[in-house]
Amino acid sequence: MYRVLIVSEDLALRQNLIHAIYKEAGGFQLAGEARHGMEAMDLLQCRKVELALIDLSRPATALSGMALLKEIYQAFAHVRVVVLSRREDMKTAVSSMRLGAIDYVVMKGFQRDVLLDMLHRAARRLSRERSSQEYLVASLPAPGVAPLRPIHGLLICPTSPDEEASSFGLLMNNDRLPWQRITDTCWYAEVPDAADTEERLLEWVTSADSGKFIAYRIVNDGNYAHETVVSLLRHFATHDMFYDYASWTKTPCCSLVNVRKRQTAANASRSLTDLWNQWALCAWVLDDCSFEALMREVKRRRHPKEQLLCRMQHTLQVWTTWIRAEAEEHVRVLTDNIYFWEEMENNLRYWRSVCQQTIHWHHISNEVFTCILKALIKMEEGLAMGITQGQVADHVSLSRGYFSKIFKRVTGSSFHQTMRTLQMGKAKQLLAGKSKLPIYAIAESIGFRDEKYFSKMFRQETGLLPSEYRKDALDKMGAFLC
């Protein structure tokens, strides 16, 4: 049974949520209801709460919604938060996720199905975390009891890029341990006294800076030499930490034997091809089981962070074509400043909810929507071949006439206009990137056989010739590096 706190000035919304919790959504119990942030903080201090539903739709009289979210994140890290809003705002949604929210739900009036879906998603998330947390707690010693697996070292890293300097300063203030830099953002120290280490960890975790870093207990259960330990920790920091971090625990335990096993398994399944073939089928957008299975598979494979982010951004750029306004901004917000997999997974869950809401807005079937997503991917893949509308319609098994009609209805533009957008987007990417391909080669790679005609179309799109665009991009990059 999960105890829920409801925070909203809207009495009707509170009553509807209470009804859903008691009458329709099993597994929940009301811990309390608050009209604003100050009341909510008072309740959190004196009652056990596992899930908070915070309404951002109306200005609060005390402690606004986002400020309350930050307070909960800092003072009650174990409480999971779902944000409710009456308008779709990507930046607010992403900010909420980065402050620990597990869901961002857009509600326009009372929507029973939306409320129940939100509660079911929250229940699944809490169930997964409770299982993981129980396993972690069971593996840790009770206060005052010697640990079953002695700690051999500590690995400290910041929880965001903004906190790197503070983490480094924290280490410099502790002159009792021989800190060694493992990566640009992580430091390791072997510890001679496990009891002393536990005391030091307790100091850090309970300090005001506890939310700025994460401290891993390192267990050298393979009795590896120092050089091997450092090598394994570099692998852990590069591959595993991105996936293993969970905001609800600040001092997890890291077994070097397990790191080596994962390193071997990861090397055996490093290819992204089959994984992204599953992703491109688009079943995950509409089917919860497919999405959860794919998320588990991504986490199991543990591809390098940069490789995963690059491929994810590329995929989202294709899929966001059908969002008529600010598609590129959606991609940037979703993929910039991602530090841990938990953040990416939360962002993708929100992105998926946007997709599902769009289906309802356009009044189309799930099957048709999936066909449009597959069509967009096929169009992007077929740029160099100059793929036609008929070929794409055949690929998604729709008649050419119906495909043309439904494609424009969903994307807001015709097939040919969308193809041109994809072509120009790819050209900009190649011109602004590290590629030194000549202009004619770039033109051919996106389906233009005539370099002059490509230059003309590019100038109509951007106001610059391709050569001018490349020079401008290089100048901006040089200024940034200086």
147-156, 243-252, 321-330, 473-482: which range is least confident on average?
Answer: 321-330
User: Are 40 and 68 contacting, i.e. CB atoms less than 8 angstroms apart?
Assistant: yes
* 3-class state of residue 416 by DSSP: helix
Give the Å distances, CA to CA, from 154 to 139, 143, 172, 182, 196: 17, 19, 14, 12, 12
pLDDT confidence tier of residue 392, bands split at 50, 70 and 90? very high
Which carries the bigger pLDDT value, residue 440 or residue 325? 440
Instruction: Return phi, psi of residue 375, to 5°.
Output: -65, -40
Phi, psi of 366 (to 5 degrees): -60, -40
Burial (Cβ within 10 Å: 0-12, 13-18, ≥19) of residue 192: exposed
Tokens at 438, concatenated: 């000549």
Q: How many CB atoms sit inside 10 A of residue 424's CB? A: 17
- What pLDDT score does 146 carry? 42
For residue 127, the model assigns a pLDDT of 79
Q: How far, rounded to the nearest angstrom, does the alpha carbon of residue 153 sit from its chain's CA centroid?
A: 30
Distance CA 418, CA 236 (A): 42
> Which residues are paired to 253 by β-bridges?
217
Phi, then psi, of 17 in degrees rounded to 5: -65, -40
**If you average pLDDT over each of 119-123, 159-163, 188-192, 280-284, which comes out highest?**
119-123
Confidence of residue 478 (pLDDT cuts 50, 70, 90): low
- pLDDT on residue 207: 54
Place 169 in a pLDDT band, splitting at 50, 70 and 90: low
Q: Which residue has the tokens 């840790």?
A: 140
Closest alpha carbon to 68 in 315, 60, 273: 60
Residues 6+ apart with CB under 8 A from 264: none
DSSP type of residue 222: T
Share of the chain above pLDDT 90, in %: 10
